Structure 1
């Protein structure tokens, strides 16, 4: 009877191995590395596609400000006209002819040579300050958008990193629980084969060991999913970030 109680107590300890181990460990804070987390955040800022899109939008907004400033010159229009020194008129009577024949008459133009002109469009000029102001506002919006997203991305990386650390600790606990369950099963099986243990206790030990193994598999799957979620933001594998 005492042996039966011993086996039952061992099974109960194995079943509750994870909660008891959590109490023993008490915290996962010691597993968190702030310098490594900072590296992860910087990696996400450098690699995440949406950040690159926001950077491109910011560059475009800066170029639009420069373009709006230069557009002040659009109000000025430069032109030139070339005027020969003399013009040839073939359809006028040449003075001094009596037979009515058509001659040529070379006439000198008042404005001759190349003439340059510079024109100023006041309406276009008055519109430029508004265009520059709008371009600067768009630049501010782009800057605010990227600053806001950097805060969001930083928070997301932290949350997923903490989740990854939690799942990693859970795998360690479940692995130890599975080892304990396997140890209890071996002991009960040995005693059962010697006729020192009941079939009921042997069955309970097998069920407990199966449950612990399934819990370990679930914990491992959760760890892989947490790792994948974190790497989604990083754009790289954790193993490549030292």
Structure 2
């Protein structure tokens, strides 16, 4: 009877070792991972905010260049042709249209600095977005690796639960035939219950990792092809 119990434990240990030796790295689909990263860049709200902010700052550059026209002020005076040409108060006034252009020296000196400032702010916004893209990429990778880990853990726990159930059913049959003690049978049932509990916990952990990955890519995993 001790030999039977020992044999069962060896079988379970062998199965666990076999699953434990599987490489996680070999199961990573890098093409799929790149699609997840691209989806996150397109859908994650924080990234969208930064992209829109960059667009707003980019619009400030041409606006600053156009504002160079603010330096100049155009004006005109119209004097009817039938009016007296000579004005004693202002002898420079003549009949017809008179045009004039004024330039603000303060604006003239200020505008180059405003344009340079707008360009610098655009560069900063672009660099911040690039930095966040790196952070976002690493976060997607981290959640994807956790998802793959939990998927394999679930496979392992599911197989272990099935194996423990098989052993428990076999020992129950032997117990009913009087071939093993009640203690040995109860031990197998406790082991099977523990394995099943671990499987359920693994299912929960797997679903959480899946939800976390879907949250950052903004889509269901099944919809990313």
Q: How far off is 1:43 after superposition?
A: 1.1
Moved over 3 A (4+): 11-14, 16-19, 21-24, 107-110
Asked if structure 1 preserves the Cα contact closer than 8 Å seen for 2:171 and 2:180, the reply is yes
Q: How far off is 1:80 after superposition?
A: 1.5
Structure 2, unaligned runs of 5 or more: 87-92
CA distance in 2 between partners of 1:234 and 1:170 (Å) = 23
Q: How far off is 1:84 after superposition?
A: 2.2
The answer to whether structure 1 residue 34 and structure 2 residue 21 are counterparts is no
Q: Aligned ranges for residues 193-232 of structure 1 at < 5 Å?
A: 193-232=176-215
Q: Aligned ranges for residues 48-127 of structure 1 at < 5 Å?
A: 48-86=44-82, 107-109=84-86, 110-127=93-110
Is the partner of 1:202 in helix, strand or coil? Answer: helix
CA offset digits 1:111-157 (Å, max 9, x no partner): 22222211111111110011001101100110000000011111111
Q: Quote the residue 2:8 is aligned against.
A: 10
Asked if structure 2 preserves the Cα contact closer than 8 Å seen for 1:11 and 1:205, the reply is no
Q: Aligned ranges for residues 227-238 of structure 1 at < 5 Å?
A: 227-238=210-221
Structure 1, unaligned runs of 5 or more: 88-106
Q: Report the TM-score, using the length of structure 2 for normalisation.
A: 0.91
CA offset digits 1:37-75 (Å, max 9, x no partner): 111111111111111111111111111011111111101
Q: 1:214 to 1:11 in 2, by over 3 A?
A: same
The answer to whether structure 1 residue 190 and structure 2 residue 173 are counterparts is yes
Aligned pair count? 219
Q: Report the TM-score, using the length of structure 1 for normalisation.
A: 0.85
- How much is the aligned-residue C-alpha RMSD, in angstroms? 1.7
Is the partner of 1:197 in helix, strand or coil? Answer: coil
CA offset digits 1:12-44 (Å, max 9, x no partner): 653x4675234442x112211111111111111
Asked if structure 2 preserves the Cα contact closer than 8 Å seen for 1:4 and 1:197, the reply is no
The answer to whether structure 1 residue 21 and structure 2 residue 23 are counterparts is no
Q: How far off is 1:7 after superposition?
A: 2.0
Q: 1:212 to 1:186 in 2, by over 3 A?
A: same
The answer to whether structure 1 residue 43 and structure 2 residue 30 are counterparts is no
